[in-house]
Every structure is written in C-alpha cells, then in structure tokens.
Structure 1
C-alpha cells in the first residue's frame, strides 16, 4: 500500500521558556546547528545588545552585527557582511524587524536561520515570510523557515508590553483570515489546505479562549506557541493565506496610506474585527471583540488615531494590496458610501457590545 505524505519544512528546535537564551550555545550544539559556535549573531537596537553580551562567553567564535530599520537595504547590507567568512548559521535576536532582516539575509546566503524572539508582536518569528520596507513601502518576501525558534520569557517580559499585546491581535486575526479562505472556496472554488487551516485555527482558538493576561507565563507561552503555529501554517501551504485575509489587506492599506499609525498586530486585530462584522458572524464578532478588549487592544479607528474617513479610504484601497486574494472585502465590493454606512453600523454594534 503506497504511503503518501507531504514533506514540510519545520523548525528542528522550538523552545519557549525562561532562561532559554543562556542555553543558546548548548541548543545550537545539541541541535547539530553549530558545534563550535561559528555563527553570525544579528541584533537590533533594543535588547539585542544586552543578549549578545549574555551569550558571548559561551559563543566566543560568533560575530555580532547590529541592524536597524527593517528595510530591504539593511537586509542586503547584512547579506554582504555575511560573505566575510564561513558561518554555520545566522542567529537573529530581537523583535520582528530584526528577525525579518536576518531571515532574508540568511536565505539569500543559503544559511540556516535561528530566531531568538524578544517580543511576541506578530507571527513572523517562525514564518517563511519577511516583511521589509523598500522605498517607504512594506513588501513581503519568501524566505526559509527558521531552523530553530527560541522564545525566552524573561526577555519577552522586559520588552514593551504593547508589542507583546499586538501579537494577540495578529493571532486572533487568523479566525477572520480562515473565514475569508472558506469564502474563497465557496465562491471561487479555491482549494483550502486543511492542515494549514487547522494549525492556524488551533493557536487562534487557544488565545481567544485563554483567561490569562500578558503578565501570566501560561498565557504568554500559549501566545508564543500560537504565533509559531501560525508561521508553520504558512510553511505548510506555501502562502500566507491561513493567516492573512481582509484583515491584513486593511492593515497593509493603512500602512501605505498612513505610515506609523500602529503596529502590525494592532491593525490586524481591528481589520479582523471589522471583517468579521461584515460577514455577519455575530458570535465570532462578540468573541474577538471581548478578547481585544480584555487585552487592551484597539477596536475602533479612533483608537489608533484614524478618522472614520481615513479608515474608509484604507478599506477602499485594501483589495489592491493583495490583488490575488478573495476576501469579504472583494466579495462585498463596497463603494465609499457603503463602507461609511457599514463602519457606522460597526461602531454601533461595538458600543452595544461594550454597553
């Protein structure tokens, strides 16, 4: 009987706990990633430098590079520096921008990448995608999935709380992205990858239902693992489809029109809640709204400093940010006046829910 199975690129090592960074040399050796510590350590302007000092005694052969900005230029510049000598792997330590620069440079050099996440702002920590800015516009680039993902809860705790809360918005937006994928199957016959969908859904459901908060290790562990599952879901199907629908189209549009408005995860959360409202899914709308509210995440355009008119403009632009995607936004194809009306209804439903 023939056995048909898929080959999925996935991290060899996943470690979510306190004290993981101090064990980095042992993790690299035990995982047969680097026996002698000949690695390029890439740090950002935040906690990265502090972590580099912590691991230096056990990784004496490592070279440390500092990157800033999360741009394609920074990634290309780092790629050039990685040619200086032979490295076993690239170790990216920091938040999303640093990790994405390291992922892109490592992929271009054909080197394995190890993610050491100091914040849980979005699902980029374990995804095969790097979001990098070029000419002021953020683009998505396909990269190799990290060979190891390490999340040290000590460093997550020391990072800006708002960054970690944002990751909740990004994970929960999977619920909306999956509903959009299901809609595309129903209307356009687009195939849905069941394994990718289940990986994306499980993490989102776990975060949605967890009673804990960002100050609670048990909750933060679930959040970290949900973000990793989300990255794996993308690797399984080869696209960002299981984690990116109308929610992310709105986020990309806001980024393009009004740069610096809010973080990826915060905007994905608002986009997911609005799209869920547009789909008329009242149960999910109530669940996602309650989750975002419980974790002090924005739900209305005004919460991120946008006027209703600016949000309407973003919703109008949103479908063009991912022309190949079919989501509730493409399905409804709302005019500006229709979008305005639905936004007013959305605000009313939220106030009713809050009341």
Structure 2
C-alpha cells in the first residue's frame, strides 16, 4: 500500500535562548549552513554596533550590511550589494523591518536566509512573507521560509517593551483568523489546511493560557515559539490564511489611512477582538479580552488614539486590503451606520467584561 505524505519546508534550526547572537557562528556551523562564516549579515542602524561587536570575533569572513527602513527600495539595494561575492547565506539580525528586507533580498538572489530576531513584535520572524513599503503603501511579498530561526532573549529583554508585547496581539489574533477561515469554508467552500490550522491554533492557545508576562523567560519563550509556529503555519499551506483574517484587514486599513497609529501586533489584537465580537463568540471574546488586558494591549479604538468615526472608516475600508479574502467583515457587509452601532455595542461588551 503506498504511503501518501507531503514534504514541508521547515527551518533546519530553531533556537530560542539567551546569548544566541554571540553563538551565531556555532549555530551556523552546527546546522551545516555555513562552516566558514562566509555570510552576509544584515542589521538595522539601532543595534548594528552591539551586534557587530558580538559576532565579529567568530565570524571574521562575514560582510556586514546596515539597512534602514522596511522598504522595497532598501531590499532591492541590498540585493544588488549581495552580488559582490558568493555567500553561504544571508543572516538578518534585528526587528521585523530588517528581517523582511533580508528575506526579500535573499530570495531574489536565491540564497538561504537565517532570521535572528531581537524583538517579538509580529510573526514575520519565521513566515514566508516579507512586508515592505513601496510608494508609501505596505505590500506583502512571497519569500522563501528562513532556513533557521533564532531568537536572542537578551536582545528581546533590552528592547522596547511595547513592541514585544505587540507580538502577543499578533499570536492571539490567530483565533479570529482561523474562525474566518472556517467561515470561508462554510460559505464559499474554501479548503482549510488542518495541519496549518493546528499549528496556528496551538500557538494562540498556549499564549492565552500562560499566566506569565514579559518579565518571565518561560512566557517570552512561549511567545517566541508561538510567532514561529504562526510563520510555519503559513509556510505549510502557502497562504497567510491561518494567521490573517478580518483582524489583519482592519490592521492594514488603519495602517493605510492612519499610518503610525500603533504597531502591527497591537492593531491585529484589537481587530481580532472586534471581529470575534461580530461573530457573537462570547467565550472567545472573554478569553481574548482577558489576555489582551493582562498584557496591557489595546482593546478599544481609543486605546490607540482613534476616534469611533476613524475606526468605522477603517472597518469600511478593510475588505479592500485583501480583495480575495472572505472574512466576517465581507460576510456581514455592514454599512457605516451598522458598523457604528456594532462598535457601540462592542464597547459596551468590553466594559461589561472588566
């Protein structure tokens, strides 16, 4: 009897711990990624000096490139520089913008990419997607999944607490994204990948149920692994569906209309909570609201400085950010007046939960 299975691209190494950046040469060698350290190391301007100081003693053959801004132009410019000589891999060290630039440039050059995260703002650290700005608008570009994913808890601890906490909102939003995926299956017959859904759901459940906070290494490790699992879920099914639904449509809409409002994860968590309310799922609403409140993450438009009218405008615009996606927002197709009323009801429901 033939054995039916599928081959799934996953990282050769996943390492979440303190001191990982300093041990980068050993990690690359042990993973058979680069024995001699002939890699292109991509860093952001904020932490470049500290990172170079840590890796230079053991990665003497590496070339260091500093990139600024998560733009398509920066990624193309980096890609041009990577033609200078042969590299075993591209190593992106930093936050989401730096890693996305490195992912895109590495993919265009046909090089494996190692993702070394120094912050936990969103699930891009392990996803097959690069979010880059071009013409003032952020777009999503398909890229190769990182060949290795490393998270250095020392850097995470010393980074901006608000951005790291934002990653919690991004993982929690998986619950809403999966509900939207199921809705699309029921209404439009869209197939749901069970393995991808399982990886995404486990990441969110582990985080929601964990009693710790960002001062606890055990909790931060669960958060990091949750972000990685979310990225792997997207790689498994070849789409962002397991981690992106109406929640991310709202997030992208706010980013487009009111840029600079809040971080990716903060807006994803807020969008997920609102979409969960629209579905009438009171059990999930209570669980998600408690988690976001426990970690001081936004639950109302006013928490991110938006008026009700601005949020209504974003919800109305949200479906246009992903025209091919079916979520609770497309399903309800609310008018501005209906959205305004549902937002008022939502605010009352959140108040009742406190």
TM norm. shorter chain > 0.5: yes
Alignment of 1:1-355 (within 5 A): 1-354=1-354
1:5-41 deviation line (CA, Å, top 9, x unaligned)? 1111110000001111111101111111111100000
Q: What displacement does 1:52 show?
A: 1.9
Q: What displacement does 1:163 show?
A: 0.9
Q: What displacement does 1:305 show?
A: 0.7
Q: TM-score, normalised by structure 1?
A: 0.99
Find the aligned partners of 1:326 and 1:177 in 2 and give their Cα distance.
11
SS at match of 2:22: helix
8 Å contact 1:41–1:52 — kept in the other structure?
no
Count of residue correspondences:
354
Q: What displacement does 1:132 show?
A: 0.2
Find the aligned partners of 1:138 and 1:253 in 2 and give their Cα distance.
10
Find the aligned partners of 2:52 and 2:337 in 1 and give their Cα distance.
53
Residue segments in structure 2 that go unaligned for 5+ positions in a row: none
Find the aligned partners of 2:271 and 2:49 in 1 and give their Cα distance.
34
What's the Cα RMSD here? Answer: 0.6
1:228-254 deviation line (CA, Å, top 9, x unaligned)? 000000000000000000000000000
Find the aligned partners of 2:252 and 2:314 in 1 and give their Cα distance.
9
8 Å contact 1:47–1:118 — kept in the other structure?
no
Find the aligned partners of 1:68 and 1:335 in 2 and give their Cα distance.
40
Q: TM-score, normalised by structure 2?
A: 0.99
SS at match of 1:54: helix
Find the aligned partners of 2:75 and 2:329 in 1 and give their Cα distance.
33
8 Å contact 1:43–1:49 — kept in the other structure?
no
Residue segments in structure 1 that go unaligned for 5+ positions in a row: none
1:186-241 deviation line (CA, Å, top 9, x unaligned)? 11111000000000000000000100001100000000000000000000000000
Find the aligned partners of 1:253 and 1:156 in 2 and give their Cα distance.
28
Find the aligned partners of 1:48 and 1:172 in 2 and give their Cα distance.
31
Find the aligned partners of 1:314 and 1:76 in 2 and give their Cα distance.
31
Deviating 4+ runs (over 3 angstroms): none
Q: What displacement does 1:101 show?
A: 0.2
Find the aligned partners of 2:268 and 2:144 in 1 and give their Cα distance.
24
Find the aligned partners of 1:48 and 1:88 in 2 and give their Cα distance.
21
Find the aligned partners of 2:156 and 2:50 in 1 and give their Cα distance.
13
Query: Is the deviation greater in 242-251 or in 24-33?
Result: 24-33
